[in-house]
Amino acid sequence: MSGETASDTIFALSSGRLPAGVAVVRLSGPEAGVAALALSGTLPPPRMARYAALHHPATGEELDRGLLLFFPGPASATGEDVVELHLHGGRAVVAAVLRALGSLPGLRPAGAGEFTRRAHANGKLDLAEVEGLADLIAAETEAQRRQAMALASGTLSRRVTGWREGLVSALALLEAGIDFSDEADVAEDVARQALDIIGGLHRELFAALADAERGERVRDGLVVAIAGPPNAGKSSLLNRLAGRDAAIVSPIAGTTRDVLEVHLELAGQAVTLLDTAGLRETVDVVEAEGVRRALARAEAADAVLWLSDLGMSPPAAFAAAICVRTKIDQGGAVPEGFIGLSTVTGDGIEDVVAAIAARAEALCGREPALVTRERQRLALEDAARHLERAMGDHGGHEELRAEDIRLAVRALDQTIGRVDVEDVLDRLFSTFCIGK
């Protein structure tokens, strides 16, 4: 809104959807303490709760009774003075308190993510930690929660800071060698020390980047395609795993024409199940397009469940598939390497889920990954490229090697948001809810 500034005192409901047992209204800014005094006539000692009645500052009408907490800046979540009002969680109560706050000079409603943005601006959170907080809010599975918690608590930030300090040390050695270039033994020794540091850091960066795909997979979720010939029970299995009739089940071959997606949690991982068209030769133009899409999505998936009621082996493209022999309630042997399944009786469902969980653990691991977003990965890849150049032959021009190190430092700074991240911040904070 026009006229808004970073010096305004902002306020918003920071707890969940109303009605609720308790509602928390948060204020941040230079007038936060003044506003608390205006409503309650008291300001509790820092970080101590005080029970008080809240009144409209203009009319004196009592609005509610609740707890007040005061966190003076910079020792607060945002780095500014922060007040929390713990109210009864009724819609009318909260609306009345918000109206009263809006009537005070210098106060305005907060925008989406504005509390967190102020925390970032005041050095309370770096960009990687903010991204971790966004992922924590969006986390739907235990694996996503653990990974987001690690990022929000500064795991990546601390590692990047350590790498940066190492590069600064290497840069200082190189510049010392440049200053003493007339003393060949000194210049050669410091250059060797610098290269040793750079080489070690490059290996650490390479290891982190090799693990980045795992982090992005946990954050975005595992894609599992259910593939097989027509009438193998693909849609029936999807419905069993989803716990609802998500797909149409019919004895008529070719019922599934397009790829159907269902999102759920299996074994603590976010999983997107793809129900695909039955794979067969067909002259039906629409079904043929469905088969083409099924093959494309299955080949791009993280894992494939190959279903066959006859125990047919999967195509070579799906050699690593989890193989399932369906309709075992109708008799027939289960081939070696297959899981026996009946979607009618439920026999084998737990074995299928366990196989998906084992594949998920192999792809995603148990421990949180260091790098979890494409933006982080691209910045670290940029740093690694500059370090690789820094380790090359510069024909005796050590100032060129030093410049490559400076560029690597800049790339690391971008990872945690020290430079050139305003456009990233705008996009990121737009995904936050108001009050966070």
Please state, in angstroms and rounded to a whole number, the distance separating the CA atoms of residues 360 and 341: 20
Amino acid, res. 192: R
Q: What is the mean pLDDT of residues 42-70?
A: 95
Alpha carbon separation from 84 to 14, 40, 137 (Å, rounded): 9, 12, 20
Reported as a single tens digit per residue, the pLDDT across 355-394 is: 988 888 888 887 888 999 999 999 999 999 999 999 888 7
Reported as a single tens digit per residue, the pLDDT across 224-235 is: 888 888 888 888
Give the pLDDT band of residue 341 (cuts 50, 70, 90).
very high
Kindly report which listed range (95-109, 146-160, 191-205) carries the lowest average pLDDT score: 191-205
For 417, phi and psi rounded to 5 degrees?
Answer: 85, 30
Amino acid, res. 154: G
Q: Map residue 63 onto helix, strand or coil.
A: strand
What integer pLDDT is reported at residue 107 of this predicted model? 96
Who contacts 185 (Cβ-Cβ below 8 Å, separation ≥6)? Answer: none
Please state, in angstroms and rounded to a whole number, the distance separating the CA atoms of residues 386 and 371: 19
Count the Cβ atoms, other than its own, within 10 Å of residue 211.
15
Who contacts 122 (Cβ-Cβ below 8 Å, separation ≥6)? Answer: 73, 74, 78, 79, 80
Reported as a single tens digit per residue, the pLDDT across 66-97 is: 999 999 999 999 999 999 999 999 999 999 99
Q: Which two tokens stand for residue 350?
A: 């737990």
Reported as a single tens digit per residue, the pLDDT across 109-157 is: 999 899 999 999 999 999 999 999 999 998 888 889 999 999 999 999 9
**Cβ(350)–Cβ(237) below 8 Å:** no
pTM confidence score: 0.79
What integer pLDDT is reported at residue 6 of this predicted model? 65
Distance of CA 430 to the CA centre of its chain: 15
Please state, in angstroms and rounded to a whole number, the distance separating the CA atoms of residues 294 and 187: 62
